[in-house]
Amino acid sequence: MLTVQPTLLIGPSDWDAEVMPQGEFEKRIAALWRTYPEAPCAIVYGDRCHHAELAYLTNLVPKLEAAVAVLFPTGEHEICVGGGPNMVGAARPLTWISALKPLRGGEAIGRRAAESRTTLPGVPLLIGGDYIPTALRQGIIEAIGEPPVDATAQVWALMRRTSSFDLSAIRESCFVLTAAMAAIAEARRAGAGITAAVLAGERAANAAGAQDVRTLFSINGGRTLVPFTTPIDPSTGPLQVYVAVRRFNYWAEGFAVVSEQRLPGVERARDLLRRALAMIKPGADAVDVARRVVKAMKPHRCHPVTMRSFANVVGLALDEPPHTDVGARFEAGEVYSVKVGITDEAKSHAIVSAMIGVRPDGIDVLWSA
């Protein structure tokens, strides 16, 4: 589930060595060199919208303009920060890499990459290249003399496996998600309208240290979900809500229905979610589990929101693969968002979800509706 990208991240994005030690980043970079032993360097691009790979390797999340890291097997890494010289100081607390300089175009980056080929004969790597502006990419290629090797897919494969530090950061995000959902429920019990209740959840998330909060809600009983455009005042009836929060660069997301009454459709969705979680284990086919859940929800049908996204990996980005594709299997060491949505295409609609970590012998429920 993707929501509107905010103009500016407002929460804390500073690197915390106790949460994610420098050694953890060095292990990730070392794994990249093992895959590409002859690569002289890796160019990693990130901007305020797409920066999962950059954050994975450097912890840096650009808040305004883009940034480009150049990583070397020798460990003499550097980051070029967009926005002019004044942004260099602002970026220092965001990363463990100390060599920062202004981003002055692709040619300078390409020249630096080309220089590194005197020690290793391979072609430089490019990570996050799908989002890089054309002019910046062209300048890099011209200075290197040939296109770099796209290593984004290999970095995504590394990102799917969660270390103890990754899992700890995701748990922190789940704590923030819990606080946000609890605040929404409390506000509704107090008679708040949709706008006031959802904003109460966002304030609670910010107070708990979230660096980014995104919300969607329903104004038609759960049939569809929308972002804020104008204030919505109804204070009665069930509230279908989606909340995504980020803490220490890692996301947690959740769907829930807030209601003072026990609604048969909502109870049915929650029961189906419990059944789904009971079927998940390492090696379980995600598509097969989803099909069994859909079969069990009759006479209801699968909600359009969850029809093609029963389970997906969640971590440094909200849209991490794999989605529920044919052949996708739950793997130990990965964290998933599992969603169940039902509808009778009339008045009964509900979407609920859980965040889970898959262990070799089962799962841990990190958050659940």
How far apart are the C-alpha atoms of 367 and 347, rounded to whole Å?
27
Residues belonging to the chain = 369
Output Rg (C-alpha) for the chain, integer angstroms: 22
On average, the pLDDT of the chain sits at 92
Nearest Cα residue to 256 out of 296, 287, 215: 215
Reply yes or no on whether the pLDDT at 326 is more than 80.
Answer: no
Reply yes or no on whether the pLDDT at 26 is more than 70.
Answer: yes
Reply yes or no on whether the pLDDT at 139 is more than 70.
Answer: yes
Nearest Cα residue to 207 out of 187, 241, 180: 180
Cα 246 to Cα 174, 261, 317: the distances in Å are 9, 31, 9
| Structural domains of the chain sorted by starting position, each given as residue range(s) with its CATH number in brackets | 22-160 (3.40.350.10), 164-368 (3.90.230.10)
Cβ distance 252 to 174 under 8 Å?
yes
* Residue type at 21 in one-letter notation: P
Q: Between helices 134-144 and 106-115, what is the axis angle to 10°?
A: 30
Within 10 angstroms of residue 275's Cβ, the number of other Cβ atoms is 15
Label residue 323 exposed, middle or buried (CB < 10 Å: 0-12, 13-18, 19+).
Answer: middle
Cα 193 to Cα 102, 122, 175, 196, 198: the distances in Å are 47, 60, 24, 5, 9
**pLDDT value at residue 254:** 97
Rounded mean pLDDT, 83-103: 93
Query: Six-digit token pair at 104?
Result: 């002055």
Query: Six-digit token pair at 164?
Result: 């103890």
CA 24 to chain centre: 19
Nearest Cα residue to 140 out of 112, 102, 99, 101: 112
**In terms of pLDDT, which residue wins out, 82 or 322?**
82
Reply yes or no on whether the pLDDT at 10 is more than 80.
Answer: no
Q: Map tokens 């100081």 to a residue.
A: 89
Which residues have CB under 8 Å from 195's CB, separation 6+?
228, 231, 232, 233
pLDDT per residue over 270-288, tens digit each? 999 999 999 999 999 999 9
pLDDT per residue over 55-89, tens digit each? 999 999 998 899 999 999 999 999 999 988 888 99
Q: Between helices 286-296 and 264-279, what is the axis angle to 10°?
A: 150
Nearest Cα residue to 224 out of 340, 321, 34, 351: 351
**Please, how many CA atoms are within 13 Å of residue 236, restricted to the half-sphere of its CB?**
0
**pLDDT value at residue 322:** 55
Cβ distance 158 to 74 under 8 Å?
no
Reply yes or no on whether the pLDDT at 7 is more than 70.
Answer: no
Cβ distance 308 to 290 under 8 Å?
no
Q: How many Å is the maximal CA-CA distance in the chain?
A: 70
Query: Six-digit token pair at 339?
Result: 């969603």
Rounded mean pLDDT, 21-32: 98
How far apart are the C-alpha atoms of 324 and 318, rounded to whole Å?
14
Percent residues over pLDDT 70 in the chain: 94
